[in-house]
Amino acid sequence: MAQVTLNKVRKVYPNGAEALEPSTFTIPDGELCVLVGPSGCGKSTMLRMVAGLEDVTEGEISIGDRVVNDIDPADRNIAMVFQNYALYPHMTVARNMGYGLKNRGMDKGQIAEKVREAAQMLNLTEFLDRKPSQLSGGQRQRVAMGRAIVREPDLFLFDEPLSNLDAKLRNQMRIEIRALQRRLGTTAMYVTHDQVEAMTMADRIIVLSNGHIEQIGTPAEIYSNPASTFVAAFMGAPPMNLLNAEAGQGRVTLPGGEIVPQAGVNGHAGAVTVGIRPEDVMPSPQGDLTFNVDIIEELGAQRLLHGQMAGQAFSVAVPKDQEAATGEMRLALKPGAVHLFDADEGRRLG
Amino acid sequence: MKRAAFGHIGFPILLLLPQLAIIAIFFYWPAAYAVESSFYLQDPFGFGETFVGFDNYTRLTNSTNYINALNFTVVFTLLVTFFSLGIALLLAVKADKVIRGAKTYRTLLMWVYAIAPPVAGLIGVMLFDQSRGTITQVLASFGYDFRLGVNYWDTAAAMITVSVWKQIPVNFIFFLSGLQAIPRSVREAAMIDNRSGTSRFWDITFPLLAPTGFFLLIINITYSLFDTFGIVDTIVKGEPGNNPLTLVYRVYVDGFRGGDLGGSSAQSVVLMILVLILTIVQFRFLERRIHYT
């Protein structure tokens, strides 16, 4: 059990590319922290530095109260689960899981005991004598989990562990991993590019973009108070609508003259970006905003209406029992629906 | 998948014909001819032949020269295979870790591959030359008098060294590509599981290289048995004397120098049978223990 602290950690590759700007944060003991962002944002680099598979250019990484910058990966007392499972293809499931313990000099009986326990926890008992090639994707992922668990590490590191699984299995494994991490109470860092995984699994989310941290917060904080247009657009599905608008004289006006209700401008004047989540608006004849529906997407539980507002792309989510038709309609906003961002840098205003 | 179908059996045979013709003309026909002539005693000047049954074979078992060549070939093959595989593996593992200038470094290591065996033999002769050879001079400075072509063991050592040197690049290329085929994440997982690089190599890398190694083992044994002909020939300069000879070279010396075509054919047949047995043994016993991903 341990907390993880990064203190001004920076990564620059030999070719001069800065993969990660100096980043500082702490993951409290026992939390599952998800690093999320598009590919190339530096999230995997960050994870690999914590694992010791990548050198740290500047700054300090601590696991527990030990600075681990110069400690060998095998001595950091961590366990990592890789995207492609990274099982040893020539070893049986049991030997795969026990390999790390064997190298720590644990005796055979004890290893067998621990492997059996972990296998039971993961429903792998009947597969212990099989080779990885004889297992399905989900089973392999479980073996990789088992290999991590038997080590009883201070920290779990997950590098996009579910990306190679099909959608249904992914949902199931997501819940399993979450439940297992809760039960063991082990601190975990989890890298993914899938915002649904981030929202559903995390105690805390770190959103990264282009090598810098955009926002750190709980899933609810990130969803309801995105710190930038990047976070607003990246987190949540369907993504938040972002509209170009003008602030001035105490109100926000869309191109074409419609005034966005609820928008306090805090003395800001000039170009702004207005963010409205598709689920925060509802059709209403008395609504303040005009919306032109082009396409209706049926999702079962809800319908997505895609179209134009003030000449810009806009989407609305309505419950399944609400009638919808293409053409012009009026929209009203739910309370707290409007997010306001700086038009140039995308930072949140107020 | 859609199965391709030919309207007539003649067409596929026509397509296969060039390949079949090559195999028949250059492999089956000479092999059959060797088997046939191994039962005859040929007149060295081409004036007829006499059927002698298994005489040529029994003669082999009584020939000290032949038994010596057989023994030397076994030792030669084992040493050349072992050292060329071992050194190539070591170089490949080290080259795999090089990050800066990796391409140049690898190209330099592969260069020797482009040298033809007789040229390699010739370079070997120059290096080991009695009066001017660099290696001879180095050994002389340690007080060792190296006598290529005169001392049996010295000649053997030179043959083995040159043969190993010539074969290392091929093995190196295969081992290197084998190493690079091992997923990076598997190695990284091992780094987290095991502190010691050496034990990681034997536990993870080596077993995963086994298919490459097995393939190379067969290639190298075949190389040592047959393809070293050019090297042996340049080093002994066609003057066998009491120099060490491999079986293949013995076939050439007895057949074309000694004019004993029947005996030479019998030797070839023995060689064919040996290779056949070797290949079967390798596939039956070794391959089973190897994991193919």
pLDDT digits (tens, 9 = 90+) for B110-143: 777 777 777 877 888 888 887 788 888 888 888 8
Give the separation between CA A190 and CA A47, rounded to whole angstroms: 8
Residue of A nearest to B211 (CA): A90
Q: Select from A327, A322, A241, A330 the least CA-distant residue to A288.
A: A330
- Say yes or no for a CB contact (<8 Å) between B192 and A133: no
Question: Is A82 an 8 Å CB contact of chain B?
Answer: yes
- pLDDT of B45 > 90? The answer is no
Q: According to the model, what pLDDT value does residue A150 have?
A: 93
User: Which of B100, B182, B188, B193 should we substitute to test contact with A (largest number of A Cβ atoms within 10 Å)?
Assistant: B193
Backbone angles phi, psi at A274, to 5 degrees: -100, 130
Give the separation between CA A200 and CA A244, rounded to whole angstroms: 30
Q: With bands split at pLDDT 50, 70 and 90, how would you rate the model's confidence at B230?
A: confident
Residue of B nearest to A105 (CA): B194
- Say yes or no for a CB contact (<8 Å) between B192 and A84: no
User: Which of A55, A81, A85, A90 should we substitute to test contact with B (largest number of B Cβ atoms within 10 Å)?
Assistant: A90
H-helix segments, B194-285: 197-200, 206-222, 229-236, 247-252, 261-281
Give the separation between CA B7 and CA A124, rounded to whole angstroms: 53
**Residues on chain B touching A76 (C-beta within 8 angstroms):** 192
| Sequence-ordered strand ranges (E) for chain A | 4-12, 18-27, 32-36, 58-63, 66-67, 78-81, 155-159, 187-192, 204-209, 212-217, 241-248, 251-253, 259-260, 270-276, 281-283, 289-298, 302-309, 312-319, 327-333, 338-342
Q: According to the model, what pLDDT value does residue A316 have?
A: 93
- Say yes or no for a CB contact (<8 Å) between A88 and B189: yes
Residue B292's Cβ-count burial label (10 Å; 0-12, 13-18, 19+) is: exposed
Question: Is B288 an 8 Å CB contact of chain A?
Answer: no
**Residues on chain A touching B196 (C-beta within 8 angstroms):** 103
Q: According to the model, what pLDDT value does residue A44 have?
A: 93
Q: Select from B169, B171, B155, B207 the least CA-distant residue to B186.
A: B207
- Say yes or no for a CB contact (<8 Å) between A89 and B196: no
Rounded to the nearest 10 degrees, the angle between the axes of helix A93-103 and helix A137-150 is: 20
pTM tops 0.90: no
- pLDDT of B5 > 80? The answer is no
- Say yes or no for a CB contact (<8 Å) between B188 and A133: no
Q: Select from B225, B238, B230 the least CA-distant residue to B272.
A: B225
- Four-point Cα dihedral A324, A330, A334, A336, nearest 10: 130
Count CB neighbours of A331 within 10 A. Answer: 18
User: Which of A53, A83, A96 should we substitute to test contact with B (largest number of B Cβ atoms within 10 Å)?
Assistant: A53
Residue A84 has its nearest CB partner, among B185, B195, B196, at: B185
- Say yes or no for a CB contact (<8 Å) between B186 and A75: no
Residue B183 has its nearest CB partner, among A52, A86, A133, at: A86
Q: With bands split at pLDDT 50, 70 and 90, how would you rate the model's confidence at B99?
A: low
Q: Select from A253, A178, A225 the least CA-distant residue to A339.
A: A225
Q: Select from A283, A272, A264 the least CA-distant residue to A326.
A: A283
Q: According to the model, what pLDDT value does residue A15 have?
A: 87
CA distance B184 to chain A (A): 8
Q: With bands split at pLDDT 50, 70 and 90, how would you rate the model's confidence at B205?
A: very high
3 state DSSP class of A157: strand
Residue of A nearest to B208 (CA): A90
For A125-145, what is each residue's pLDDT tens digit? 999 999 999 999 889 999 999
The CATH-assigned architecture of domain B55-292 is: Orthogonal Bundle (1.10)
Q: Select from A153, A155, A195, A149 the least CA-distant residue to A174.
A: A195
Residue A82 has its nearest CB partner, among B185, B207, B210, at: B185
Give the separation between CA A297 and CA A306, rounded to whole angstroms: 8
3 state DSSP class of A246: strand
Q: Which long-range contacts (CB under 8 A, 24 or more apart) does B150-156 make?
A: B152/B242, B152/B243, B152/B244, B154/B128, B155/B235, B155/B236, B155/B243, B155/B244, B156/B72, B156/B76, B156/B244
Question: Is A189 an 8 Å CB contact of chain B?
Answer: no
Pairwise pLDDT comparison (B102 vs B76), residue with the higher score = B76
Question: What string of pLDDT tens digits covers the 350 residues of chain A?
Answer: 689 999 999 999 988 889 999 999 999 999 999 999 998 899 999 999 999 999 999 999 999 989 999 999 999 999 999 999 999 999 999 999 999 999 988 999 999 999 999 999 888 999 999 999 999 988 999 999 999 999 999 999 999 999 888 888 888 889 989 999 999 999 999 999 999 999 999 999 999 999 999 999 999 999 999 999 999 999 988 899 999 998 887 788 888 888 888 776 666 778 899 999 999 998 988 888 999 999 999 988 889 999 999 899 999 999 988 888 888 999 999 888 899 998 888 899 86
Q: According to the model, what pLDDT value does residue B289 have?
A: 62
Output the CA–CA distances (angstroms, integers) from residue A159 to A79, A236, B14, B32, B246, in the order listed: 11, 21, 55, 61, 56
Backbone angles phi, psi at A268, to 5 degrees: -80, 140
Pairwise pLDDT comparison (A131 vs B64), residue with the higher score = A131
Question: Is B192 an 8 Å CB contact of chain A?
Answer: yes
**Residues on chain B touching A88 (C-beta within 8 angstroms):** 186, 189-190, 204
Q: Which of residues 131-160 of A touch B (CB under 8 A)?
A: 131, 133, 147
Give the separation between CA A289 and CA A261, rounded to whole angstroms: 9
For B53-73, what is the mean pLDDT? 86
Give the mean pLDDT of chain B.
Answer: 85
Residue A103 has its nearest CB partner, among B193, B207, B210, at: B193
Q: According to the model, what pLDDT value does residue A203 have?
A: 95
DSSP summary character for residue A179: H
Question: Is B206 an 8 Å CB contact of chain A?
Answer: no
Q: According to the model, what pLDDT value does residue A78 have?
A: 94
**In contact, B98 and B172? CB cutoff 8 Å:** no
Q: Select from A196, A231, A238 the least CA-distant residue to A216.
A: A231
- Say yes or no for a CB contact (<8 Å) between A90 and B291: yes
Q: With bands split at pLDDT 50, 70 and 90, how would you rate the model's confidence at B79?
A: very high
User: Which of A84, A88, A99 should we substitute to test contact with B (largest number of B Cβ atoms within 10 Å)?
Assistant: A88
Output the CA–CA distances (angstroms, integers) from residue A234 to A113, A184, A276, B80, in the order listed: 44, 31, 13, 61
- Say yes or no for a CB contact (<8 Å) between B192 and A73: yes
Question: Is B64 an 8 Å CB contact of chain A?
Answer: no
3 state DSSP class of A85: coil
User: Which of B192, B204, B212 should we substitute to test contact with A (largest number of A Cβ atoms within 10 Å)?
Assistant: B192
Indicate the length of chain A as a whole number.
Answer: 350
Where b means 16+ CB within 10 Å and e means fewer, A302-314 reads bbbbbbebbeeeb
3 state DSSP class of B41: strand
Strand-pair partners of A256: none
